[in-house]
Amino acid sequence: MPKKYIALLWLALCLSGRAQPLDRRQVEELALARQPRLQAAQLEVEATQKLIEQAQMSPNPVLGIGTEVPALRIVSRVQISLSQPLELGGKREARTRLAEVNHQVAGARQREAERQLLLEVRQAYAELLAAERKVSLEKEAAATSQRQWKLAQERFKLGDIPKVEVMQLEADASRALALSAQSQAECEMRRGALAIWLGKPAAELQVQGQLGSNAALPGLEELQKLALSQRPDLQAQQLDQDRRQAETRLEQAKGVSDITLQTGLAYDRTYISPQNQTSGLTGIGSPVLSVTAGLSIPLPFRDDNSGSIAAAEIRAQAAESEREALERQVRLQVESAYLTALANQKTRQVLAGQTLPLTLETLRILEQAYRVRARSLTEVLNSRRAYLEAARSELEAARQEELALIRLEAAAAHNLQR
């Protein structure tokens, strides 16, 4: 009895320690939580927020302290002044607007980094699913080859078939085992690629899910409209155009000269040597305290910032052209992924619904007939070859469909109903 409990406990520990398969949503959550690329983008958003606060600051006042001691020591002066630059032309508002747009651009780029990350992670996830299905398919093919080889050995012992048929089936079984081992190696490579994205050991990574979808796709025009309104890279490009316009406004504001107000106190003391004293002169050597005030206005005779203004306007036009080019590219991306997904979906459905069941049933019938000596080896091999070709074609169509759906979701910035 104790041995029974120990065995049950050991089984429970093994089952609890086994990694649970991850579905697509769980894979995405793990990837988003462990990517330095997204953390860097988030920090850039926080940094640009601080720059908004900085842009709202006014210029600091300037405190000046000076003294004058002439060589002849006739008058000495100690002066304290306070000057305050005053920004004109709306510089502060333009600077703040530019900082706000830069903050919005950083947010759009963060969302774009997440979109690109999900695209790559979903592709790695789909490739692993396809690789695991291929492993199962090649294992099934190897098992079928082994079964037919053993059947041929039995018939050879009975003297029903020549030795060459047994050798042919043995070679076929060996080739099937090699393909099975190759598919297993490819699967482990795909597992390692996804494990890197998730920050998990490859040995602990298991996935579950399906390739392709039987749900009807939305219309192409609808998806293109979604892409043009939701793609973060398009939003970033539009914001970049706004940023160029904000830069133009700031350069125009810089073309307006600022003024500087100045005020202060001056402490003067007069010294007259005995040789230069004048009779009747009063107040000799007495200090004089005076208030000073001034205004400084730069004259824009040479530099009116016209060159910087013109450059900013040209860059704004370039940003508009870049946005138009990106819109065309987005439309093409959506259309290409849409047509590819649609074509592979139809191919997969035909293969899975019609071709595969027919070829599998044909193979079973011919195997039974070969067992009772009613069919030749060539017919069996051709039938198995037809079934494997159909199964591999269906798997490849499902893989291509899933990858196209993933690209379509990324291109439209919209998760499709599966």
List the one residue out of 393, 392, 20, 416 whose CA is nearest residue 208.
20
C-alpha 122/C-alpha 403 separation (Å) is: 8
Cα–Cα distance, 217 to 334 (Å, whole number)? 12
pLDDT recorded at residue 285: 61
Give backbone dihedrals phi and psi of 76, rounded to 5 degrees, phi first: -115, 150
Angle of the 91-157 helix axis to the 356-371 helix axis, nearest 10: 20
At 154 the pLDDT is: 82
Two structure tokens written together for 24: 């697509």
Residue 4 confidence (pLDDT): 43
φ, ψ at 201 (rounded to 5°): -65, 140
Name the nearest CA neighbour of 405 among 391, 396, 393, 418: 418
DSSP 196-213: HHHTS-GGG--B---SS-
Q: Residue for token digits 């049933």?
A: 361
How many beta carbons lie within 10 A of that of residue 307, not counting itself?
Answer: 10
Under a CB-based contact definition with an 8 Å cutoff, are residues 309 and 248 in contact?
yes
Separation between Cα atoms, residue 323 and residue 348, nearest integer Å: 37
Strand, helix or coil at 284? coil
Cβ contact 217:342 at 8 Å:
yes
- Could you write out the DSSP letters of every residue in 157-180? HTTSS-HHHHHHHHHHHHHHHHHH
Token representation of residue 340: 């590819």
The CATH code that applies to domain 19-55+87-257+310-412 is 1.20.1600.10
Two tokens at 117? 């990350």
242 phi, psi to nearest 5 deg = -60, -35
What does the alpha-carbon distance between residue 348 and residue 401 come to, in Å, rounded to a whole number?
8
* Domain residue limits, the chain: 19-55+87-257+310-412, 60-86+258-296
Q: 363 Cβ partners below 8 Å, 6+ apart?
A: 380, 383, 384, 386, 387
Backbone φ and ψ of 5, nearest 5°: -65, -40
If one counts every other C-beta atom within 10 angstroms of the C-beta of residue 245, the result is 19
Give 341's contacts (C-beta < 8 A, 6+ positions apart).
217, 401, 404, 405, 408
Residue 351 is classified by DSSP as I
DSSP string across 348-385: HHHIIIIIHHHHHHHHHHHHHHHHTTSS-HHHHHHHHH
Query: If we measure between CA atoms, which residue out of 390, 382, 379 comes closest to residue 357?
Result: 390
Q: What is the CA radius of gyration of the chain?
A: 40
Instruction: Give the per-residue pLDDT at 160.
Output: 77
Regarding beta strands 259-270 and 62-68, do their DSSP bridges make them parallel or antiparallel, or are they unpaired? Answer: unpaired
| CA 239 to the chain's CA centroid | 18
10-residue stretch averages of pLDDT, the chain, 418 residues long: 42 50 92 88 93 91 82 72 89 92 94 94 96 94 87 81 86 92 95 92 90 91 94 92 88 86 84 52 64 84 78 84 91 95 94 92 87 79 89 94 95 89
Q: How many CA atoms lie within 13 Å of 349's alpha carbon, on the beta-carbon side?
A: 10
